[in-house]
Amino acid sequence: METIARCINNSLTVILTCLALMLFSGVTIQQFIMALPVGVVVGIYDSIFVAGPLLVLWDRGMKTEPKAA
């Protein structure tokens, strides 16, 4: 549970930083800054809905006994 909270806290910090950069930066960097939150959202999705279940499946696979040859 603390991993999800840490992920969300980090993501909110990055999004707030992007918002500040959008408001106070020049025109040349605006398009780059608009792409950063998209990457953050994709990272949040990956951390919660992809990496978590894969870790559970991996952990279950490690607990099974090896088959005798």
Q: What letter represents residue 67's amino acid?
A: K
Report yes or no on 53 lying in a domain.
Answer: yes
Report yes or no on 9 lying in a domain.
Answer: yes
Joined together, the tokens standing for residue 66 give 């090896």
**Residue 64, pLDDT score:** 64
**Residue 13, pLDDT score:** 92
What's the domain range around 14?
A: 2-61
**Residue 68, pLDDT score:** 64
Report yes or no on 41 lying in a domain.
Answer: yes
Report yes or no on 33 lying in a domain.
Answer: yes
Report yes or no on 66 lying in a domain.
Answer: no
Report yes or no on 69 lying in a domain.
Answer: no
Pick from 30, 31, 38: which is nearest to 14 by CA?
38
**Residue 28, pLDDT score:** 87
Report yes or no on 22 lying in a domain.
Answer: yes
**What is the mean pLDDT for each group of 10 consecutive residues in the chain (69 residues)?**
79 89 88 86 82 81 67
| The total number of structural domains that make up the chain | 1
Report yes or no on 67 lying in a domain.
Answer: no
**Residue 67, pLDDT score:** 67
Pick from 20, 19, 22, 43: which is nearest to 31 by CA?
22
